């Protein structure tokens, strides 16, 4: 067995079966644990971004941005959320917008993933510790797959962003008579933002000006979906694209769950907003279907909107709460508790209803460790969202539905808003910053820490069953 103790590798005997890792944090080197490196790296990126956005070069006007505005924007960008307190194209200069783009590219790509990928490209091999750090960000199912996943991260990220950018540049240039420079900037910014599920836009009304343009909405939806599936899923789909029977439970849950959630969102938006004159009701039926589909995709952490979210019916907002909180696939650019977490717990509940001891999905038993990790992530989410709602209700006079929407949007790193973000007091903005950071980094940290700390205890306590429910 291989033990990782106090930052040093101690070799023991490997007796059959898979290699086993036990991580013990060292008091002398506390940040060698990937569960601590990931949030530290994100904090460094946020700090650098805040400083850059506070410089006069980053803002349109004679002075730099106030510290809280710069901090909120940097957190939103690095955590690929998209919530803003100032209109991006009218407040930030070209330099400021470039900084924002770089921040959400870094956040989406994953700081630890990028660092490990560069190490692989230079050294052409991994040290075990580097692989562990990469695994913390990519959620690879085994150490042997990390190299392949990282290559796929690099290829998919830049290939998808480049293709979508070219389509958008062509559309902005020929369809909207933008100059080449303007078309290139809008196309690249929207493409990178969409793939990273960031939600930032160089248009003040996001995508509302393109509500009847499938050549803009469709490529962005494709980029959002690919980025939100998660790189381990893309890696597995590449190996067996036409053999679903060979897919892992994770891939099956992510793909089928994403399709199901898209259909739920599409039907809900179309049903509740079809006759709303402030949203779908103002459009012809083909564009109503297009925008219902767009909103369903974007609600699950992308942050763009082609409809006025503030004009949504209460029922639509309620469905959006659920879609935002679930989010996208693990180890992708999407946020939320993740599709696999939600549906895995669904199988656990179904097994309990049927009186089965084991939770089974697609002919495979779900490990108790995975069940505990899923419950931990959901409990973290519920606690963070609940605390955030209480703080915003105490600090503002906003209606409950707007507060709930804003808090879930921040925690799930969605970026959609009913239009209240810019008017929030400082304590509410700081609360949203914490929620965005916890939502992007906290769930990764918790899941990784739980996985790395798994160990076999040579004894068990007597069992007792408390009354539940």
> Quick one: three-class SS letters along 162-179?
HHHHHHHHHHHHHHCCCC
Are 239 and 119 part of one and the same domain?
A: yes
Nearest to 53 by CA among 27, 26, 20, 77: 77
- Give yes or no: residues 14 and 162 share one domain: no
Our count of domains for the chain comes to 2
Helices (H), 128-248: 128-138, 146-175, 180-195, 214-229, 231-239
Regarding whether 156 and 19 lie in a shared domain, the answer is no
Helix (H) or strand (E) holding 364: strand 364-365
Residue 175 sits in the same domain as residue 302:
yes
8-11 and 23-24 as β-strands: parallel, antiparallel, unpaired?
unpaired
Give the count of alpha carbons within 13 A of 31, CB side only: 6
Clarify whether residues 80 and 205 are in a common domain: yes
Could you tell me if residue 466 is inside a domain? Answer: no
Question: Do 7 and 55 fall into the same domain?
Answer: no
Q: What is the pTM of this model?
A: 0.85
CB 215 within 8 A of CB 175: yes
* Shared domain check, 145 and 248: yes
Q: Same domain, yes or no, for 92 and 208?
A: yes
Q: Does residue 467 lie in a domain region?
A: no
Residue 469 lies in a domain: no
Based on the domain organization, do 74 and 22 belong to the same domain? no
Give, for all 469 residues of the chain, the pLDDT tens digit: 334 333 333 333 333 343 333 334 444 454 455 566 778 888 999 999 999 999 999 999 888 899 999 999 999 999 999 999 999 999 999 999 999 999 999 988 875 565 444 444 444 444 445 555 555 555 555 545 556 667 777 888 999 999 999 999 999 999 999 999 999 999 999 999 999 999 999 999 999 999 999 999 999 999 999 998 887 788 888 888 888 888 888 899 999 999 999 999 999 999 999 999 999 999 999 999 999 999 999 998 888 999 999 999 999 999 999 999 999 988 778 889 999 999 999 999 999 999 888 899 988 899 887 888 888 889 889 999 999 999 999 999 999 999 999 999 999 999 999 999 999 999 999 999 999 999 988 766 665 555 555 566 777 778 777 877 7
Residues in contact with 259: Cβ distance below 8 Å, sequence separation at least 6, in sequence order: none
373 and 451 Cβ atoms separated by less than 8 Å? yes
Is 430 domain-assigned?
yes
**Domain residue limits at 19:** 1-30
Verify that 1 and 62 share a domain, yes or no. Answer: no
| Of 191, 145, 464, the residue nearest 302 (C-alpha) | 191
State the Cα–Cα distance between residues 311 and 147, nearest whole angstrom. 46
Statement to judge: residues 134 and 14 lie in one domain: no
Residue 340 domain flag: yes
- 3 with 63, same domain: the answer is no
């Amino acid at each position: 067995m291989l033990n990782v103790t106090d930052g040093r590798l101690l070799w023991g005997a490997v007796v059959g079966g898979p290699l086993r890792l036990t991580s013990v944090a060292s008091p002398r080197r506390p940040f060698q644990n990937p569960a601590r490196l990931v949030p530290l790296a994100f904090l460094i990126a946020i700090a650098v971004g805040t400083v850059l956005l506070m410089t006069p070069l980053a803002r349109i006007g004679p002075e730099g941005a106030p510290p809280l505005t710069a901090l909120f924007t940097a957190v939103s960008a690095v955590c690929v959320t998209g919530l803003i307190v100032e209109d991006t194209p009218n407040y930030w200069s070209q330099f400021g917008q470039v900084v924002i783009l770089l921040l959400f590219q870094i956040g989406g790509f994953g700081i630890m993933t990028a660092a490990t990928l560069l190490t692989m490209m230079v050294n052409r091999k991994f040290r075990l510790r580097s692989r562990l750090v990469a695994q913390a960000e990519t959620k690879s199912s085994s150490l042997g797959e990390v190299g392949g996943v990282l290559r796929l991260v690099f290829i998919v990220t830049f290939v998808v962003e480049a293709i979508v950018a070219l389509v958008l540049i062509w559309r902005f240039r020929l369809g909207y008579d933008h100059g080449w420079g303007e078309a290139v900037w809008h196309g690249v910014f929207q493409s990178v933002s969409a793939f990273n599920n960031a939600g930032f836009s160089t248009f003040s009304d996001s995508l509302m000006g393109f509500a009847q343009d499938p050549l803009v909405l469709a490529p962005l939806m494709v980029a959002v979906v690919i980025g939100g599936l998660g790189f381990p899923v893309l890696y597995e789909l590449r190996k067996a694209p036409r053999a679903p029977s060979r897919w892992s439970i994770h891939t099956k849950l992510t793909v089928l769950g994403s399709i199901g959630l898209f259909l739920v969102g599409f039907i809900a938006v179309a049903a509740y907003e079809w006759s709303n004159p402030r949203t779908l009701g103002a459009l012809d039926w083909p564009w109503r279907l297009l925008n219902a589909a767009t909103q369903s995709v974007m609600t699950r952490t992308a942050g763009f909107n082609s409809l006025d979210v503030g004009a949504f019916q209460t029922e639509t907002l309620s469905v959006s709460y659920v879609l935002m909180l679930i989010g996208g696939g693990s180890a992708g650019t999407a946020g939320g508790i993740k599709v696999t977490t939600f549906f895995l717990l669904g199988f656990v509940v179904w097994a309990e209803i049927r009186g089965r001891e084991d939770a089974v999905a697609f002919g495979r038993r779900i490990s108790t460790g995975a069940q505990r990790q899923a419950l931990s992530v959901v409990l973290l989410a519920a606690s963070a969202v609940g605390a955030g709602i209480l703080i915003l209700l105490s600090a503002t006079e906003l209606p409950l539905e707007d507060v709930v929407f804003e808090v879930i949007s921040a925690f799930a790193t969605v970026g959609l808003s009913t239009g209240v973000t810019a008017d929030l007091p400082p304590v509410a903005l700081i609360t949203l910053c914490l929620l965005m950071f916890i939502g992007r980094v906290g769930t990764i940290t918790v899941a990784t820490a739980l996985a790395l700390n798994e160990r076999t205890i040579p004894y068990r306590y007597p069992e007792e069953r408390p009354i539940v429910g």
